[in-house]
Chain A
């Protein structure tokens, strides 16, 4: 371009259907080429980290659902693991198995919504209908275990909110059947679809070095060819006992990220089947008086349990001075909770390491120098949830 050419500044969002919420991007265009892309955040900022500081440890938990509202169980799990690390609580086997099963179910939930909306952005409208049809079975499963469709708060500090329902195994196997059937539909529609390949191949490319320098995690990092998954690298909640593969991409473009996410759904199904096959018997909550809530059945009939229940609801427990970090591999990447105790019954600071926020910082690098129409594809391939970006 000659020096006389002028650039045009274009505002995209915050009310734009393909920004997946309220993301605003200020684009500087030279013809159809993006010269500069600057994301503007904060339209959904609710001060969740500040709110968490004012609550007892138990009462912080519902806040975590509301950040990444497409993966509530992953957030619950991350926070509970961090508190359990801080308070040194051992978790019964059965709880760990159920947690793994539900965390994988949540990963599928998160990926299905991503798949539907990403394909919708690129013009494949029917995908949204198929993925949301199948996601409904996961929502029903959430309702069966936690009583709610989205903000379940089912995983609690030291265990689960209640015992798993009688039909748990049967229901999960039904969900697996639905998802397996659905996966064939999605792949038939997209994987070899020429329009989809043309729109995604070579778009939003990030090399391995760039991905590490930008601290990317999850499918974004693996798409660039780095085989790193916290479930394998630093196993939590007994992930080391399950057999699964970590898919890795080669080119670091949007198409590779699509392939990885679809393969991750398959691997999640594998893990869920293993948890169902070897589900151990046992209590659904650890027995740690004074820190972990006693089971509700005991509260109604045993005096000590009722006393502890009352004390925990009113006063909570006191955490030691010191900070812990627990990262988990959520659907979007490394979801970390940094909790600092200060000797009182409320957390001194809860820092959430938001995968969407940190992955979104790669957007300028993915867009600049490329075509304007690929911006939508680049945003979609990051898989952001603005509730978590802005918190």
Chain B
């Protein structure tokens, strides 16, 4: 029932924004155009009949050198949940490998703050309009984004900053 409601919601309001609908192992995902994600989230949160108020998670995938890369290298996954109807579905956007950027949804959900920071830190996806898009888990000195597929698994970055005459900003 919730599935039909959701389909109707997208058909009525965001017909152009939906690229495709996908069902895998019972979970519904909507692939959206990247520029529409903020508007869709805002409308979903405001829609009283859907009653989807819970942003469960934001995560990201890197499809480098995989057949799926044709639609865009990066994928950002928004995991939304409705507490009243106990229904979970996913919004997905595909982004290019060069400077992947998507609009931040921190205005809508406070919890998106840390989730987006983690995605930025781990996958290097920029969230436009985020109030404090800085590293959250990795060390300040680390260059690169560890969960990208081209980041080597066993690679250490020696940084002997105490030897430098001019230490970098983070040490000062």
Q: A residues near B, CB below 8 A?
A: 41-42, 45, 47, 49-51, 53-54, 85-86, 88, 210, 212-216, 226, 228, 233-234, 321-325, 327, 334, 336, 338, 340, 342, 348-349, 351, 353, 357-358, 361, 365, 390-391
Whether A338 lies near B136 (C-beta < 8 A) is no
| B147 beta carbon closer than 8 Å to chain A | yes
Once the chains are docked, how many angstroms separate the CA of A96 from the CA of B78?
A: 30
Q: Nearest chain A CB to B41's CB is how many angstroms away?
A: 13
Once the chains are docked, how many angstroms separate the CA of A391 from the CA of B146?
A: 13
Q: Which of B122-172 contact A (CB under 8 A)?
A: 122, 135-139, 146-147, 151, 153
Q: Per-position contact with A for B89-104: 1 when CB-CB < 8 Å, else 0?
A: 0100000000000000
Q: Which of B68-87 contact A (CB under 8 A)?
A: 68, 77, 79, 83, 86
Tell me whether chain A's interface is mostly helix, strand or loop, or mixed: mixed
Whether A50 lies near B147 (C-beta < 8 A) is yes
Once the chains are docked, how many angstroms separate the CA of A353 from the CA of B66?
A: 25
Whether B110 lies near A212 (C-beta < 8 A) is no
| B25 beta carbon closer than 8 Å to chain A | yes
Whether B83 lies near A226 (C-beta < 8 A) is yes
Q: Nearest chain B CB to A354's CB is how many angstroms away?
A: 9
Q: Which residues of the partner chain B approach A323 to less than 8 Å between Cβ atoms?
A: 24, 29, 61, 77
Whether B79 lies near A353 (C-beta < 8 A) is yes
Asked, given contacts A41-B137, A358-B115, A361-B111, whether A353 binds B24 with beta carbons under 8 Å apart, the answer is no
Q: Which residues of the partner chain B approach A338 to less than 8 Å between Cβ atoms?
A: 57, 59, 77, 79
| B88 beta carbon closer than 8 Å to chain A | yes
Question: Interface range on chain B: under 10, 10 to 19, 20 to 34, or 35 or more?
Answer: 35 or more
Asked, given contacts A47-B146, A215-B109, whether A41 binds B54 with beta carbons under 8 Å apart, the answer is no
Whether B57 lies near A351 (C-beta < 8 A) is yes
Q: Which residues of the partner chain B approach A342 to less than 8 Å between Cβ atoms?
A: 66, 68
The listed residue (B24, B122, B136, B138) touching A324 by CB distance below 8 A is B24
Whether B147 lies near A49 (C-beta < 8 A) is yes
Once the chains are docked, how many angstroms separate the CA of A30 from the CA of B27?
A: 49
Q: A212-B83, A390-B137 are in contact. List 13 more A-B contacts (CB 8 A).
A: A41-B137, A42-B135, A53-B153, A85-B25, A213-B110, A214-B110, A324-B24, A325-B88, A334-B56, A349-B61, A357-B114, A358-B57, A361-B113
Asked, given contacts A215-B109, A322-B25, whether A353 binds B138 with beta carbons under 8 Å apart, the answer is no
Whether A351 lies near B68 (C-beta < 8 A) is no
Once the chains are docked, how many angstroms separate the CA of A120 from the CA of B79?
A: 37
Q: Which residues of the partner chain B approach A391 to less than 8 Å between Cβ atoms?
A: 137
Q: Which residues of the partner chain B approach A365 to less than 8 Å between Cβ atoms?
A: 110
Q: Nearest chain A CB to B27's CB is how many angstroms away?
A: 6
Q: Nearest chain A CB to B118's CB is how many angstroms away?
A: 8
Once the chains are docked, how many angstroms separate the CA of A348 from the CA of B109?
A: 28
Once the chains are docked, how many angstroms separate the CA of A86 from the CA of B79?
A: 17
Q: Which residues of the partner chain B approach A216 to less than 8 Å between Cβ atoms?
A: 111
Whether A214 lies near B111 (C-beta < 8 A) is yes
Q: Which residues of the partner chain B approach A54 to less than 8 Å between Cβ atoms?
A: 153
Q: Which residues of the partner chain A approach B114 to less than 8 Å between Cβ atoms?
A: 357-358, 361
The listed residue (B90, B136, B138) touching A325 by CB distance below 8 A is B90
The listed residue (B29, B56, B77, B136) touching A41 by CB distance below 8 A is B136
Q: Nearest chain B CB to A56's CB is how many angstroms away?
A: 14
Once the chains are docked, how many angstroms separate the CA of A49 from the CA of B61?
A: 12
A-B contact pairs, 24 of them (CB 8 A): A42-B136, A42-B137, A45-B137, A50-B147, A50-B151, A53-B147, A54-B153, A210-B110, A214-B109, A215-B57, A226-B83, A228-B83, A234-B88, A321-B68, A322-B24, A323-B24, A323-B29, A324-B27, A334-B56, A348-B66, A349-B147, A353-B56, A358-B57, A361-B113
Whether B56 lies near A349 (C-beta < 8 A) is no
Asked, given contacts A212-B53, A215-B109, A334-B56, whether A42 binds B68 with beta carbons under 8 Å apart, the answer is no
Whether A336 lies near B57 (C-beta < 8 A) is yes
Once the chains are docked, how many angstroms separate the CA of A383 from the CA of B143?
A: 32
